[in-house]
Amino acid sequence: MKPTPALIISLLAGSLLTHAQSALPAVIPHPAEMKLTGGEVSLTPERIFCDRQPAQLAQFGAEGYRLEVTTAAGARITAATEAGMAYGLSTLAQLMSNTQAPCLVITDQPRYAWRGYMLDVSRHFAPPAEIKALLDEMRRYKLNRFHWHLTDDEGWRIEIKKYPLLTTIGGIGDKTNPKAAAQFYTQAEIRDIVAYARASFITIVPEIDMPGHASGAARAYPAHAGGGSERLPDFTFNPGKPETLAFLQDILREVKELFPDCGVIHYGGDEVHFGWGKWDTLPAVQALKAQEHLADKQAVEKWFNRTMARFINTLGCDVGGWDEILDAGTDPAHTVIFWWRHDKPAQLEQALQGGFKVVLTPRHPCYFDFLQNPAHKVGRRWNGINELQRVYGFPETSTLPAALAARAAASPQVLGMQACLWSETCATRARREFLTYPRLLALAESAWTPAAQKDFAGFSERLKIHLPLLRQRGIACYDPFAQTPEVIDQPTNATYIDHPETKQKP
């Protein structure tokens, strides 16, 4: 990456410490190693040097960099990759106060390769400009996976050329208003966002949820519906119909074209039992059972998951799924399990034993639709809430048994961690941002900074410098120090309070 004048000027303009009173370098996420060498230097664009050394991959890592700031030579960033270079520049931008930077040496690389954030745009839609603003913040805080939950019961949000009704009909409605005019991303918008993310070294992982959470699609193409419950009509696709499998495969082919470098296509797989009652009587499912010797609905679900996972693998991607897909018989070398059920540590254990790749995203503390302050009223609780400190402490402190937590933390199968924002209770950008920030910064530091360097008190001090800057950039973040008022959307259809999983409204 060349430090073009435009880039340098934007760095200088966006310099972080403009309002800082102290000389404390407030870098989030905290670098792996940082040594202040004393004094500071004035940096003009000609005194910032980027030195890419592709042969030094082993030394720097795929995302690491070294940043040296000296009075004699200005700033020099050395990295093996463009991503490393970009992260070095990001760090430099955070260090600068106007044109001044402290003299120091930083040697940095991330703890985890997967540093993610998931946004549910089905329950409530987030327009492209908001997605780009989110990607900007992810880039600033060195997050590198945006998991885009594009389809669910409340609405189908991704244009598929072969099946236009998915968006013109399936895109109608949201959690607040089932009749709201269709909201979705066109393919042109998706390509634009994917390119935008790529320029920030962020990979977008699309999720097309199946065989459950499918009511949005079923409204558009009822022939593919596999029944649901009274509360969740047409919650599933019909796993027994060959036409339905072909329909889903056509969709996934278009998804792969839109996200050519995604690496992982996520196909959901969660909570199928919420609406699979009709599978006991659907003729196509009975035929499938007979043909494939499947004893019951559980076996049908596994068969479906296995079959679709294989298809996704043939597209040249790993398949991602929520932890329900664990025993479906997918290829562990090409399956990423998203462990989300914090109350089911056995699922994580089994994923590790089974040789699967794993992303840690347990409800506690990674679900940002949970409350962040006990006094807040709207959002989920479940024997506790997800305060900033709880997010920051993960994975060293968690609800996991200690031995399993230690094993997970040390396992190379664990790609990393991510936060998820489910949007049942957020109709507006302001509320989404209120729930996301500043917890996303805590998650970013947890996912990047070595455990030994983590320190909540130090993070809090640095965060105090970042909060006003987030606000300056127009982000409606919560201030946990000032305890700013809760941002609640009115009207809202959902207030989640303590409920066991079986009664939980999806």
Least separation, in Å, of the C-beta of 400 and ligand TNX? 18
Whether 369 is catalytic is no
* Identity of the residue, 367 or 478, whose beta carbon is nearer to ligand TNX in the bound complex: 367
Write out the H or E segment, with its range, that includes residue 410.
helix 402-410
Terminal Cα distance for the chain, rounded: 44
Residue 221, Cβ neighbours under 10 Å: how many? 19
* Identity of the residue, 109 or 423, whose beta carbon is nearer to ligand TNX in the bound complex: 423
Which of 63, 120, 152, 270 is catalytic? The answer is: 152
* Identity of the residue, 112 or 367, whose beta carbon is nearer to ligand TNX in the bound complex: 367
The 10 Å CB-count burial string (b at 16+, else e) for 138-175 is: bbbbbbbbbbbbbbbbbbbbbbbeebeebbebbbbbbb
Beta strands in 254-409, from DSSP E residues, in sequence order: 264-268, 318-322, 335-339, 357-360
Tally the C-alpha atoms within 13 A of residue 103's C-alpha that lie toward its C-beta.
10
Least separation, in Å, of the C-beta of 135 and ligand TNX? 22
Which residue in 324, 281, 267, 283 sits closest to 301, CA to CA? 324
- Rounded Cα distance between 321 and 316, Å, is 16
Least separation, in Å, of the C-beta of 271 and ligand TNX? 6
* Identity of the residue, 45 or 506, whose beta carbon is nearer to ligand TNX in the bound complex: 506
Torsion of CA 148, 258, 339, 127, to 10 degrees: 0
Tokens 């031995």 appear where?
403
**Are 465 and 455 a contacting pair, CB within 8 Å?**
no
- Rounded Cα distance between 210 and 324, Å, is 12
Which of 68, 108, 207, 271 is catalytic? The answer is: 271
- Rounded Cα distance between 131 and 193, Å, is 8
Whether 213 is catalytic is yes
Which residue in 399, 400, 373 sits closest to 386, CA to CA? 373
* Identity of the residue, 56 or 229, whose beta carbon is nearer to ligand TNX in the bound complex: 229
Least separation, in Å, of the C-beta of 270 and ligand TNX? 3
Which residue in 93, 95, 144, 14 sits closest to 444, CA to CA? 144
Least separation, in Å, of the C-beta of 267 and ligand TNX? 12
* Identity of the residue, 271 or 318, whose beta carbon is nearer to ligand TNX in the bound complex: 271
Least separation, in Å, of the C-beta of 365 and ligand TNX? 13
- Rounded Cα distance between 240 and 300, Å, is 8
Going by the DSSP 8-state scheme, the letter that residue 370 receives in this structure is: B
* Identity of the residue, 110 or 362, whose beta carbon is nearer to ligand TNX in the bound complex: 362
Residue 27's Cα: distance from chain center in Å?
Answer: 22
Tokens of 398: 């968690």
Least separation, in Å, of the C-beta of 364 and ligand TNX? 11
Whether 152 is catalytic is yes
* Identity of the residue, 139 or 380, whose beta carbon is nearer to ligand TNX in the bound complex: 380
- Rounded Cα distance between 447 and 113, Å, is 8
Residue 74, Cβ neighbours under 10 Å: how many? 18
> What is the contact surface with ligand TNX in residues (CB under 6 A)?
270-271, 322, 340, 367, 369, 380, 422, 424, 506
* Identity of the residue, 324 or 445, whose beta carbon is nearer to ligand TNX in the bound complex: 324
* Identity of the residue, 224 or 380, whose beta carbon is nearer to ligand TNX in the bound complex: 380
Least separation, in Å, of the C-beta of 119 and ligand TNX? 11
Tokens of 305: 């998951």
- Rounded Cα distance between 230 and 44, Å, is 65
Find all residues with CB under 8 Å of 417, minimum gap 6, and list them: 112, 114, 115, 116, 359, 360, 361, 366, 394, 395, 443, 446, 447
Least separation, in Å, of the C-beta of 181 and ligand TNX? 23
**Are 417 and 112 a contacting pair, CB within 8 Å?**
yes
Which of 149, 213, 364, 466 is catalytic? The answer is: 213
Least separation, in Å, of the C-beta of 484 and ligand TNX? 23
Residues annotated as catalytic are 152, 213, 271
